[in-house]
């Protein structure tokens, strides 16, 4: 058998492949065939259109690559993956938005292409420029490439880590996959849960990129590539660092934000299938949807609504009103999806989908919205994610600046009046959530702290002593290290203003660890690709060319982005109050999940093993149920962690 006119020193099987969306592989593994089959089967949801595998063995190396396809660019069978050409073989998950420009440049250098896919462009770009090709790519990607001449394996990931890639050093080589669950399914009996990661997930309700819930498994960092060689040597190198980019941008001229955002949205529309958009009615999704619709009038949008009783307890604004206004203003077809799931049945599914112990119920919104879109035949959806991180749009950013002024008030007034008053406030009353009481209580947990711990506490679930008291002494020993890791990342830059230091920390931790992670897993579980035009190195460069005082001003966030948006959107949408992409969490915790919380969490394996202490957990639940404090996020995260722990143990993980 021959492939691409070349004699096959390796075997390849499977149907047509394309650019996305799940990869797996083994390097120097005697059981690689079996493992790759198991891993690609486990991530079949990432690519339901077809599958393919490839094997290569010679005197130096044995390599197996696997692929699951969701066809988006070049739908023909010519773009089969794994793609092998002139000694290079690649499996590639993602989209290269500037592939046509790179292809044209490669053609001028004499490269002959046999497909219209961006996969072949990535392969030939690596052949031409090597690792320097990565700096030329504009897109989201994770890929594995084998050079049969040298026997080397290369793994690479996009700058922000939009597309996931896990790897496990094993024996003389490595096993890798797009999702952790694939590795656990294949070699779970060899693995152990990493206790420090469990503590980190409790603190953050997600896992920072430098942590993995399974000991020994690593996430290839965003902006990096790694090489394995036949002699056993391994090297990981960075081609892009967020801190370097931010420092360079802050020292340069201010970018034309309107032009940069318009160009990014246009670039993210490249596809050979229809593209849709999320539309919450907020600023970020409205910008993306309207600009995309300008470029392609066929683009439609999806929004979510909630049951009225859930909105009351959550104190949630009705965002759908604004989504309808935007859609009507610009003639965009809007599909509304009511989020009223049987949360008892859905919870185990979302825990499995999220791969690691991530306790953010917003993932359910993404999953159900993508489920509904997929039923209508949608494969690609645009999202406004990333704007809050880059442009200072979260309430925590404003609150941290306010806290620095609050600390100047007399101590007697702060402690004797403010704290006393806020401590007495209930967080819910008569079945209605009191949002401002929740915010005030949260504010006082960090208002008097220095800058870095203030920022950390503004979005984490516990003070360090609280977390240490909730877990066993063995686990409590990890708390200080996790806190120090946050401090190191936050302070690892030379930026001169607090707003941009917070934005950079979010771009390095919160964005990849939570928002990009749950968006990828939840959307791909529905076999839908989500694209994020704000999460783009060119947009990020523009964002950090803007000083903090131009991002947050007089208690208003995202000022610079709002100024740019005034040329695209109605005033009412640009300047509406900030709303979150949230779920009716408090209604679920206090009503639907009461029995599950008692039986599965309080009576669960984490408490039974002593990893979580029952007395502080019981107090936390009681205070939340009585409306004295708002612990719904903590309870949801702990319940998710318990289910994740059971799943891992059931697969043989120690």
DSSP secondary structure, 171-224, as one string: TTEEEEESSHHHHHHHHGGG--B-HHHHHHHHHHSS--TT--SBTT-EEPPTTE
Q: How many residues does the chain have?
A: 654
What is the average pLDDT value for the chain, to the nearest integer?
A: 90
290 and 187 share one domain: no
Give the end of a domain, one of 212, 240, 268.
240
The set of residues, in sequence order, having a beta carbon less than 8 Å from that of 214 and lying 6+ positions away, is 180, 183, 184, 191, 192, 193, 194, 197, 648, 653
602 and 561 share one domain: no
Mean pLDDT across 362-390: 93
Q: Indicate the Cα dihedral angle 458, 463, 467, 469, nearest 10°.
A: -160
The whole-number pLDDT of residue 498 equals 97
In a domain, 636, yes or no: yes
407 pLDDT above the threshold of 80: no
Strands 432-433 and 88-96: unpaired
The whole-number pLDDT of residue 17 equals 31
The whole-number pLDDT of residue 163 equals 97
Q: How many CA atoms lie within 13 A of 512 on its CB side?
A: 27
Mean pLDDT across 630-652: 96
132 and 264 share one domain: no
In a domain, 396, yes or no: no
pLDDT digits (tens, 9 = 90+) for 487-530: 999 999 999 999 999 999 999 999 999 999 999 999 999 989 99
Q: How far is it, in rounded angstroms, from Cα 621 to Cα 635? A: 7
Least confident residue range of 262-276, 481-495, 603-617 = 262-276
549 and 620 share one domain: no
pLDDT digits (tens, 9 = 90+) for 296-323: 999 999 998 877 766 565 555 677 899 9
pLDDT digits (tens, 9 = 90+) for 92-106: 999 999 999 999 999
3-class SS of residue 339? strand
The whole-number pLDDT of residue 74 equals 54
Q: How far is it, in rounded angstroms, from Cα 221 to Cα 161? A: 7
Q: Which two tokens stand for residue 213?
A: 């819930």
Q: Cα dihedral sign for 642, 648, 652, 654?
A: negative
pTM: 0.92
Q: How far is it, in rounded angstroms, from Cα 120 to Cα 239? A: 21
CB atoms within 10 A of CB 550: 16
367 pLDDT above the threshold of 50: yes
104 and 250 share one domain: no
19 and 131 share one domain: yes
Least confident residue range of 317-331, 380-394, 421-435 = 421-435
Q: How far is it, in rounded angstroms, from Cα 149 to Cα 127? A: 12
Q: Which two tokens stand for residue 124?
A: 């030939």
The confidence band for 440, taking pLDDT boundaries of 50, 70 and 90, is: confident
In a domain, 580, yes or no: no
Q: How far is it, in rounded angstroms, from Cα 321 to Cα 311? A: 14
In a domain, 151, yes or no: yes
192 pLDDT above the threshold of 80: yes
* Angle at CA of residue 586, ends 582 and 591, nearest 5°: 135
- CA distances (Å), 381 to each of 19, 385, 519, 524, in order? 16, 12, 11, 11
217 and 144 share one domain: yes
- Pair 40, 111: CB distance under 8 Å: no
214 and 303 share one domain: no
Q: How far is it, in rounded angstroms, from Cα 550 to Cα 556? A: 10
Q: Which domain holds residue 159?
A: 2-193+200-240
In a domain, 295, yes or no: yes
Backbone dihedral angles phi then psi of residue 235, each to the nearest 5 degrees: -140, 135
Residue 498's beta-bridge partner residues?
none
The confidence band for 408, taking pLDDT boundaries of 50, 70 and 90, is: confident
Least confident residue range of 36-50, 432-446, 464-478 = 432-446
Q: What is the largest CA-CA distance in the chain?
A: 83
417 pLDDT above the threshold of 80: no
* Number of domains, the chain: 3
In a domain, 421, yes or no: no
pLDDT digits (tens, 9 = 90+) for 560-583: 999 999 999 999 999 988 766 567
The whole-number pLDDT of residue 12 equals 32
* Angle at CA of residue 610, ends 607 and 614, nearest 5°: 50
The whole-number pLDDT of residue 2 equals 25
Mean pLDDT across 112-122: 93
Give the end of a domain, one of 521, 542, 574.
574
The confidence band for 411, taking pLDDT boundaries of 50, 70 and 90, is: confident
44 and 165 share one domain: yes
In a domain, 448, yes or no: no
Mean pLDDT across 79-92: 90
Q: How far is it, in rounded angstroms, from Cα 363 to Cα 376? A: 20
Q: Which two tokens stand for residue 102?
A: 């790179």
274 and 293 share one domain: yes
Which has the closest alpha carbon to 642: 597, 586, 592?
A: 597
In a domain, 222, yes or no: yes
327 and 379 share one domain: yes
236 and 384 share one domain: no
Q: Distance from CA of residue 541 to its chain's centroid?
A: 20
Mean pLDDT across 605-629: 94
């Amino acid at each position: 058998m021959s492939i691409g006119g070349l004699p096959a020193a390796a075997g390849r099987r499977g149907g047509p492949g394309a650019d996305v969306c799940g990869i797996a592989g083994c390097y120097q593994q005697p059981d690689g065939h079996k493992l790759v089959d198991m891993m690609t089967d486990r991530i079949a949801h990432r690519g339901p259109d077809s599958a393919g595998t490839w094997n290569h063995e010679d005197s130096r190396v044995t390599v197996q690559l696997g692929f699951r396809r969701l066809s988006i660019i070049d739908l023909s069978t010519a773009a089969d993956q794994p793609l092998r050409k002139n000694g290079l073989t690649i499996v590639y998950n993602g989209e290269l938005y500037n592939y046509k420009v790179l292809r044209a440049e490669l053609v001028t250098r004499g490269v002959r292409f046999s497909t219209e896919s961006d996969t072949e462009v990535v392969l030939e770009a690596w052949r031409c420029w090597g690792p320097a090709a990565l700096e030329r790519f504009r897109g989201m990607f994770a890929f594995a490439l084998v050079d049969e001449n040298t026997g080397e394996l290369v793994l690479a990931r996009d700058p922000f880590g939009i597309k996931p890639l896990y790897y496990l050093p094993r024996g003389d080589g490595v096993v890798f996959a797009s999702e952790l669950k694939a590795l656990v399914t294949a070699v779970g009996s060899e693995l152990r849960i990493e206790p420090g990661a469990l503590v980190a997930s409790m603190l953050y309700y997600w896992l920072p990129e430098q942590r993995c819930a399974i000991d020994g498994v690593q996430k290839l960092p965003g902006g990096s590539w790694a090489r394995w060689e036949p002699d056993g040597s391994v090297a990981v190198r960075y081609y892009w660092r967020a801190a370097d980019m931010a420092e360079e941008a802050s020292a340069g001229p201010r970018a034309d934000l309107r032009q940069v955002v318009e160009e990014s949205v246009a670039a993210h529309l490249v596809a050979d299938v229809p593209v849709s958009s999320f539309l919450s009615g907020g600023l970020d999704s409205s910008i993306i949807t309207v600009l995309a619709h300008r470029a392609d009038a066929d683009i439609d949008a999806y929004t979510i609504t909630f049951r009225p009783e859930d909105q009351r307890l959550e104190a949630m604004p009705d965002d759908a009103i604004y989504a309808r206004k935007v859609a009507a203003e610009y003639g965009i077809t809007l599909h509304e999806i009511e989020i009223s799931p049987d949360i008892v049945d859905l919870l185990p599914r979302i825990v499995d989908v999220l791969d690691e112990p991530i306790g953010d119920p917003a993932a359910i919104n993404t999953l159900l919205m993508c489920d509904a879109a997929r039923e209508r035949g949608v494969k690609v959806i645009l999202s406004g994610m990333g704007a809050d991180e880059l442009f200072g749009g979260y309430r925590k950013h404003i609150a941290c600046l306010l806290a620095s002024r609050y600390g100047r008030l007399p101590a007697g007034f702060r402690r004797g009046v403010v704290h006393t008053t806020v401590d007495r406030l209930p967080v819910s009353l008569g079945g209605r959530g009191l949002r401002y009481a929740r915010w005030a209580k949260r504010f006082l947990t960090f208002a008097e702290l220095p800058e870095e711990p203030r920022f950390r506490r503004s979005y984490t679930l516990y003070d360090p002593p609280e977390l240490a008291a909730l877990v066993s002494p063995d686990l409590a020993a990890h708390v200080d290290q996790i806190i120090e890791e946050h401090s190191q990342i936050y302070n690892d830059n030379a930026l001169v203003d607090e707003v941009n230091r917070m934005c950079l920390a979010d771009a390095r931790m919160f964005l990849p660890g939570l928002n990009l992670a749950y968006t990828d897993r939840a959307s791909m579980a529905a076999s839908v690709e989500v694209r994020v035009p704000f999460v783009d190195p060119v947009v990020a460069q523009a964002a950090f060319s803007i000083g903090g005082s131009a991002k947050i001003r007089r208690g208003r966030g995202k000022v610079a982005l709002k100024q740019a948006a005034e040329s695209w959107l109605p005033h009412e949408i640009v300047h509406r109050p900030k709303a979150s992409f949230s779920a009716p969490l408090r209604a679920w915790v206090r009503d639907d999940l009461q029995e599950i919380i008692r039986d599965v969490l309080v009576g669960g394996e984490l408490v039974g093993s002593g990893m979580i202490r029952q007395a502080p957990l019981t107090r936390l639940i009681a205070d939340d149920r009585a409306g004295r404090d708002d612990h719904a996020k903590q309870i949801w995260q702990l319940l998710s962690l318990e289910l994740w722990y059971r799943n891992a143990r059931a697969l043989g993980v120690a």
